[in-house]
Amino acid sequence: MNHASVGAGLQRQTMQLGEAEIELFQGGTGPALLFLHGGAGLQQDAPFLEALARRFTVIAPVHPGFGASSLPFWLDAIDDFAHLYLELIHRLGLTGITLLGHSIGGWTAAEIATKSTSAIARLVLVAPVGIKVGPVDKLDIPDIYAMSDDQVERLLYAEPDKWRRDRTKMTDADLLVLARNRQTLALITWEPYMHNPKLKHRLHAINVPTLMIRGAQDGLVSGEYAAAYTKLIPGATLTTIDGAGHAPQIEQTERFVQEVERFAGA
């Protein structure tokens, strides 16, 4: 296994799951928390993962086709991610986990929880996509592929100027990861756009305590969408974090970590 330190105390390794070789970051002590990242990749999530690692044993895989994780030719849907992570949970012998997913990672977490919750104690969905709740002729999630980077960033962040990554200061390796992440995101979310038509009909099967978290200034996942998603999961609750857009774990790290710790009973 290839190990390297990431941030404060998160260690990188690689793991072979079937035909996919994935990057995996682990660190911390306490109950297991499995984090599934959003469409931008894992890089910006490091500070909040380090904060969580004070109370949890954090396991954060990098999705196939993102970062340095391989992408088998047949893998082209979020459902494939879900099956891969069920295998990961089994391989690592995880039980009683808090499953925490952001955006497409939230979609993946929801798919996992409709298949099996035998290893899952609690589910946290952060601005998840993955279902269709509005009219057939209108997108629930704005078409990010029809926008400039600047327009997308204004939807993603409450303070886009603060969180915008300066591409002129990024290494070639970072730029390659950025391009690869975008390419894979398009592959797995393009058709049908940002949802699995079957998922909303399966959410009633989720039988663990579920917390939905949304940033109040999220321009991608609307309040109505998050509320509709929450209602489809038995007993789920919705918490809104002010001063945050699509990634409250990045813009309001302290408040976000408090909400997760309170919910998970850490």
Q: Domain residues for 63?
A: 4-264
113: which 2 tokens?
A: 């929880």
Question: Given this model, what pLDDT does residue 230 score?
Answer: 98
Q: Rounded to 5 degrees, what are φ and ψ at 57?
A: -85, 105
| Helix/strand/coil percent split, the chain, to 5 | 40, 20, 40
Q: How big is the CA angle at 240 (ends 105 and 121), to the nearest 5 degrees?
A: 50
Provide the number of structural domains found in the chain.
1
Q: Which of 59, 67, 19, 18 is nearest to 42 (CA)?
A: 67
Q: Residue 187 maps to which CATH number?
A: 3.40.50.1820
Question: Given this model, what pLDDT does residue 4 score?
Answer: 42
Q: Which residues pair with 23 in a beta bridge?
A: 14
Output the pTM of the full model: 0.96
240: which 2 tokens?
A: 């809104």
DSSP 60-76: EEPPTTSTT----TT--
Averaged over successive runs of 10 residues, the pLDDT of the chain (266 residues) comes to 51 96 96 97 91 96 97 97 98 97 98 98 98 94 94 95 88 93 96 96 98 98 98 98 98 97 87
Contact 255, 248 (CB under 8 A): yes
**What distance in Å separates the CA atoms of residue 148 and residue 146, rounded to the nearest whole number?**
7
Element (H, E) at 16: strand 10-17
37: which 2 tokens?
A: 């990242």
Q: Which of 24, 31, 25 is nearest to 98 (CA)?
A: 31
Reported as half-sphere exposure (CB side, CA atoms, 13 A), residue 168 has a value of 0
